[in-house]
């Protein structure tokens, strides 16, 4: 651990799992351990949604190219997946950035078999053919609901907290920049149920896709953040042997 990890070449890593399982939390820890960026399709979509408040290069680009439809953002609010074409375009644009050369963590993508097929094709035709490895986190549904309803995040630095499980030092503000924490609009019990339904119907087959390719590991997400990070790093290092 530690020193040896920065020499490791991670390549593309997919972080999969149900809503609230800890993908964002773990992606940030992996980013620090391996020095590769987190690419979260959910975060990019929220950036697009908030383009009135903060300028967004990616939102401008997708709007100019006619690829962004208001319908997608209302689907997101309702807990349904947005169109494959939109997220595939978002990911393609992000993967062009130079910080992805040593690898990257895709957080919450691919979420459908169409997206998985698109990614397989995209990677086969670009880069040096470095295959993806997929890690799926698992947590029981009762715990997921607690994680979702208690989540708060910093709109500036994006750090993630939980009022029940991982509270900030001072009640309602970020430990690092003292910004007032926000709650996501889709973190209600009703929308969570819809997100779980989308996960079971559309994303569960994606796990089987990578399992069948033999580049898949399942990690128990119901442990401390640090212990889960260790399990993910070990699983990916093992898959890359």
Pick what 111 binds: Mg ion, ligand AP5, none; C-beta below 5 to 8 Å, kind-dependent.
Answer: ligand AP5
Pick what 166 binds: ligand AP5, Mg ion, none; C-beta below 5 to 8 Å, kind-dependent.
Answer: ligand AP5
Q: In the block, which residue shows the tokens 């994680």?
A: 147
- Other CB atoms within 10 A of residue 196 CB: 18
Q: How far is CA 166 from the centre of its chain?
A: 19
Mark 28-67 with x for binding to ligand AP5 (rule: CB under 6 A) and - for no binding. Answer: -------------xx--x----------------------
Mark 146-185 with x for binding to ligand AP5 (rule: CB under 6 A) and - for no binding. Answer: -x--xx--------xxx--xx-------------------
- Other CB atoms within 10 A of residue 234 CB: 13
The residues annotated as belonging to the active site are 23, 111, 151, 184, 195
Q: Which part of the chain contacts ligand AP5 (CB under 6 A), choosing from 55-63, 95-103, 175-183, 220-228? A: 220-228
Pick what 240 binds: ligand AP5, Mg ion, none; C-beta below 5 to 8 Å, kind-dependent.
Answer: none
In sequence order, the 6+-apart residues with CB closer than 8 A to the CB of 116 are: 110, 206, 209, 210
**In contact, 241 and 41? CB cutoff 8 Å:** no
Out of 24, 103, 168, 221, point to the residue binding Mg ion (CB under 5 A).
24
Q: Which part of the chain contacts Mg ion (CB under 5 A), choosing from 19-27, 94-102, 193-201, 226-234? A: 19-27
Dihedral sign from CA coordinates of 102, 87, 114, 24: positive
Cα distances (angstroms) measured from residue 88 to each of 109, 122, 211, 237: 9, 10, 22, 27
Chain residues 84-103 in contact with ligand AP5, contact rule CB under 6 A = 87
């Amino acid at each position: 651990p530690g020193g040896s990890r920065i020499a490791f070449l991670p390549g593309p890593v997919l972080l999969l799992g149900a809503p609230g399982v800890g993908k964002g939390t773990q992606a940030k820890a992996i980013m620090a351990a391996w020095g590769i960026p987190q690419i979260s399709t959910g975060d990019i979509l929220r950036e697009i949604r908030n383009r009135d408040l903060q300028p967004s290069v990616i939102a401008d680009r997708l709007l100019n190219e006619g690829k962004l439809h208001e319908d997608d953002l209302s689907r997101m609010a309702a807990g349904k997946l947005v169109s494959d074409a939109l997220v595939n375009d978002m990911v393609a644009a992000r993967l062009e950035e130079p910080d992805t050369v040593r690898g990257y963590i895709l957080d919450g993508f691919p979420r459908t078999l169409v997206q998985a097929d698109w990614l397989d094709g995209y990677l086969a035709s670009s880069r040096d053919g470095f295959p993806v490895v997929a890690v799926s986190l698992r947590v029981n549904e009762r715990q997921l609901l607690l994680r979702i309803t208690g989540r708060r995040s910093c709109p500036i630095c994006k750090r993630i907290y939980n009022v029940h499980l991982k509270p900030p030092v001072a009640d309602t503000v970020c430990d690092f920049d003292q910004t007032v924490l926000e709650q996501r609009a889709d973190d209600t019990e009703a929308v969570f149920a819809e997100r779980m339904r989308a996960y079971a119907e559309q994303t569960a087959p994606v796990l089987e896709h990578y399992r069948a390719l033999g580049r898949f590991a399942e990690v128990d997400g119901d442990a401390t953040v640090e212990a889960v990070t260790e399990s993910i790093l070990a699983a990916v290092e093992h898959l890359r042997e």
